[in-house]
Copies of this chain bind each other. A is one copy, B any other.
């Protein structure tokens, strides 16, 4: 099966080229100057990309399908969530297998492999949430790297649940360093935050907005600083997830200037949402925007600092931390966000985004004049591919790479809404936002799975990705 994508502008993280792309089977086999080769005759299928951008499929390295959290589960299954990802132009997601206290890492791996198997619309891999660091689980890390799980996430937040203390973190980092694996960090001082939460509740401050207000920016930057120091002791690659505080970006920038292999991602919600405009909405509306790290105060200047970090490469990746919970009752799981009515500490942490990211970053980044198209591709696809051992199969359009390709209309204008999206959740955090730039066609390893607004793939198109170790130095 050969497909010719003709007449488009191929954009990679470095190049912007007028070129025809020839796909054979699952891979890109050739690129050529438009009209220079008569591939059309030979192709099974020809897609006209005139006036469109031809970009690598998005890579979302931070999703939580079906995640158990706070007595319920994230509302998107691997099936519904991965299909929404496809609609949004994301052809690879890296989800988190979870080792809970008392389990082995292999338990977590097996459980999550089973949940995903046969259900995904896009290719997928797993990071391992290391929820129980001990002699035995440290030994399992090598086995997991062999299975393609080459990154391990630790939590400085959520004491008593997923929290690791600095000793466990250091041990896990040392082990990861020996395996050339990546350490991912949820960097918030959860121990201090828990004191603030308890005191807020004691004062009767129970509304959703207090979720944000009891997680001050310096609790994130403190943990980021500490994670960097521990990673320096261990000599390991560190990747700080869902960064939202300008003070934390400054810690990353300082470490990177010193040459440490330290990285960080942010998410669209931190670039577009704020306490003032969203979390502090009256009644329980703010619960829609409850996630951790929290949405922060616009007046403190975090959004500008995050955009600047993306432009300056102090932030390397935009992920989603997709972890949706319904505001109204979930059809099978019952109460979700409402578990926290009257007590913000019981609101499940998380919000939907896997479908929004690639398009939203074009709108805010490229249309907004903050980054160019190459950088857009880099932060939404290429950087994550290199960071998480998916390159060169994923993250680029090049000879030999997987034909994960998005045809993107840079001029289309539309309005974001729960009515329009496909994630299994009953609200959009971007409801009513008018954006420019739209995914038109999505190809996964040579097969078109989204055509216009129609999903034309099949359940189980997505394959498990055995990932390599990190292939970027800085």
Stretch among A9-17, A294-302, A322-330, A435-443 lining the B interface = A9-17
The A1-33 residues at the B interface (CB cut-off 8 A) are: 10, 12-19, 22, 24, 27, 29-33
Stretch among A69-77, A109-117, A228-236, A352-360 lining the B interface = A228-236
Q: How far, in whole Å, are A23 and B16 apart by their CA atoms in the complex?
A: 19
Tally of A interface residues using CB under 8 Å = 66
Chain B residues closer than 8 Å to A37, beta-carbon distance? 30
With A24-B36, A30-B30 known to touch, is A257 a contact of B400 (CB < 8 Å)? no
Number of copies: 4
Stretch among A57-65, A86-94, A190-198, A409-417 lining the B interface = A190-198
Chain B residues closer than 8 Å to A32, beta-carbon distance? 22, 29-32, 399
B396 touches A19 (CB 8 A): no
The A374-415 residues at the B interface (CB cut-off 8 A) are: 375, 378, 382, 392, 396, 398-401
List 16 additional A-B contacts (Cβ < 8 Å) besides A31-B399, A218-B233, A372-B473: A14-B382, A14-B396, A15-B398, A19-B400, A30-B30, A30-B37, A170-B191, A170-B195, A189-B226, A189-B229, A218-B229, A222-B226, A259-B312, A311-B474, A313-B474, A371-B473
B33 touches A31 (CB 8 A): no
Chain B residues closer than 8 Å to A378, beta-carbon distance? 14
Q: How far, in whole Å, are A250 and B259 apart by their CA atoms in the complex?
A: 12
| Residue A206 CB within 8 A of the other chain | no
A192 touches B167 (CB 8 A): yes
Q: List 7 A-B contacts (CB under 8 A).
A: A17-B392, A30-B31, A166-B191, A170-B191, A256-B312, A257-B312, A257-B314
B170 touches A192 (CB 8 A): yes
B14 touches A14 (CB 8 A): yes
Q: How far, in whole Å, are A314 and B312 apart by their CA atoms in the complex?
A: 10
